[in-house]
Amino acid sequence: VIDLTQVTIRAAADLIVKRKLSAVELVSAVLDRIEETESLVHAYARVDAEGALAAARRADGERPRGPLHGIPFAVKDVLATADLPTECGCRALEGNRPARDATAVASLKAAGAILLGKHVTSELVCGVNEPVTRNAWNLAHYPGGSSAGGGVSVAVGSSLAALGTDAGGSVRKPASLNGVVGLKATHGLIPREGVLPPSGSLDHVGTFARTVEDTELLLAALAAPVDSEGPLEGMRLGTCRAYYHADVDSWVVDACEAALVELRRLGATIIDVEVPALALAVPAGVTIFIAEAGADMRCLLAERAAEIGGETRRALELGLLLPAVWVDAAQRARALLRREMAQTFRDARLDALVAPTLALTSMPLAQMSPDVHLARYMSLTMPANLTGQPSLSVPCGLSPEGLPIGLQIVGRPFDEATTLQIGRRFQEATDWHTRRPALPAVADLA
């Protein structure tokens, strides 16, 4: 018996094509799972059960269009949807109904996938969300960044796939913290049309799924098919321990080192590299993000400030007050990082850089201090936002507390094929991606 809430897209697609599973059965099972889990994890801002079931009935009446036919997915509430409000977690946008779907949403629907609803986002991608989204592996712990709803939902089985956005790690972070696969493709490869623009130059639409193979199916519909077949023999993978293993929890370093051993066993050559400008990634990324978010939201801020939460409002206001010299220095640091990264890939003939996704595993929400911990949570993901390189997070271990650890594979620009190839071979050789959280029953929490 297959658990339809934990089935992969590939496995579900095979059953749908063979008519052994209907889209209505699959969507119904996932809607039931949403019912069971939402009061625990709060991953959704809005669920459209009626619309999803109607779409599933239509899908069952058609010839399957491809592997996403009948597959239920959900999207972060910053991606425009014509049939559902797009409120970005903000009272000022309550009832906002875009005229059409964001291009990425439309692409998945055109491939036959079925929209379940909108995942929670932190307010305008800058603030907080209430009630707070919970980590799938420990409800008292941090679930990840502004796209946490997608990572949590795919982990607990309340969607098979999700779309989020990633301007500093907001897809890869919840993917890593909730034990699922997150992809931020090369900047601009997945169209951003129809996405709330908090920081256009850093932001990317990204995917959540349970396996790299499923991620590849999503990317084929969102951008273009890639070929991730082929072994790792002859591949050259860089590791930059001076940055990516410094100020990192010991169990995260251990899991990453074990992954490097596995990748070497699979035929890859591991090469130590240094990229000094990585040290500037957090100040540069945070400065550019805040400045661009403030500029993008200036009109909303000027006209409807009272309907924006205090924390979000102040972050946006701060963006409009930063001295130009700071923003300019951040852009120059970004140029330096891109130049050094390109030089490193060329000189060492790298196929990808391999590193931990995050410096730490999920911590208790009650112990978090935004000033201290948010910078640590983005220190290893922000570099790929600044350079625009593809970056994939795959599960690679568990902490002593049993919380997921992610391995980050950063590829050459527009070389998603190699990036996914490395992730797929790693998943074929390990079973970290098959581990699932055991949620307590609601009654047990009472």
146 assigned to active site: yes
Question: Is there a catalytic annotation at residue 153?
Answer: no
| Contact by Cβ (8 Å): 193, 377 | no
Helix (H), strand (E) at residue 358: none
Q: Shortest Cβ distance from residue 389 to another protein (Å)?
A: 7
What b/e string do you get for 251-263 counting C-beta neighbours within 10 Å, with b at 16 or more? bbbebbeebbebb
Per-residue binding letters, 124-163, with another protein (x by CB under 8 A)? ----------------------------------------
Half-sphere exposure in the Cβ direction for 231 (13 Å, CA): 8
Among positions 229, 371, 431, 444, the unique one binding another protein when judged by CB under 8 A: 371
Catalytic residue among 122, 170, 228, 393: 170
Residues 150 and 60: their CA atoms lie apart, in Å, by: 26
Task: Report the residue number, 76 or 334, with the smaller CB distance to another protein.
Answer: 334
Examine the residue annotation and report whether 362 is marked as an active-site residue of this protein: no
374-393: which residues touch another protein (CB under 8 A)?
A: 375, 386-389
Site residues for another protein, window 186-245 (CB under 8 A)? 186-188, 201
Sequence-ordered strand ranges (E) for 325-387: 352-356
Q: Which residue has the tokens 């931990």?
A: 356
- Starting at the edge strand that comes first in sequence, how are the strands of the sheet with 161-166 ordered? 44-47, 114-119, 72-76, 161-166, 204-209, 181-184, 391-398, 404-411, 352-356, 236-239, 269-272
Binding-site size for another protein (CB under 8 A) equals 50
Quickly tell me which residue has 């998943």 as its tokens.
427
In the list 98, 191, 197, 283, the residue contacting another protein (rule: CB under 8 A) is: 283
Which residue among 412, 424, 425, 433 contacts another protein (CB under 8 A)? 412
- CB closer to another protein, 67 vs 411: 411
Q: Is 153 exposed, middle or buried, given 0-12, 13-18 or 19+ CB atoms closer than 10 A? A: buried
Q: How far is the CB of 201 from another protein (least distance, A)?
A: 6
326 binds another protein (CB under 8 A): yes
| Phi and psi torsions of 252, nearest 5° | -70, -45
Strand 391-398 vs strand 181-184: parallel, antiparallel, or unpaired? antiparallel
> 296 to 325, contacts with another protein by CB under 8 A?
298, 301-302, 305, 310, 313-314, 317-318, 320-322, 325
User: Smallest distance, Å, CB 280 to another protein?
Assistant: 6
| Residue span 328-357 as binding mask against another protein, x where in contact by CB under 8 A, dash where not | xxxxxxxxx-xx-xx--xx-----------
The two tokens of residue 168 are 């500093």
Query: Virtual CA dihedral for 7, 130, 173, 72, nearest 10 degrees?
Result: 20
Binding mask 423-442 for another protein (x = CB under 8 A): --------------------
Name the catalytic one among 146, 147, 176, 399.
146
CA distance 21 to 11: 10
Output the smallest distance, CB 202 to another protein, in A. Answer: 10
Residues with active-site annotation: 76, 146, 170
Give residues in contact with another protein (CB under 8 A).
186-188, 201, 279-280, 282-284, 286-287, 290, 298, 301-302, 305, 310, 313-314, 317-318, 320-322, 325-326, 328-336, 338-339, 341-342, 345-346, 371, 375, 386-389, 412-414
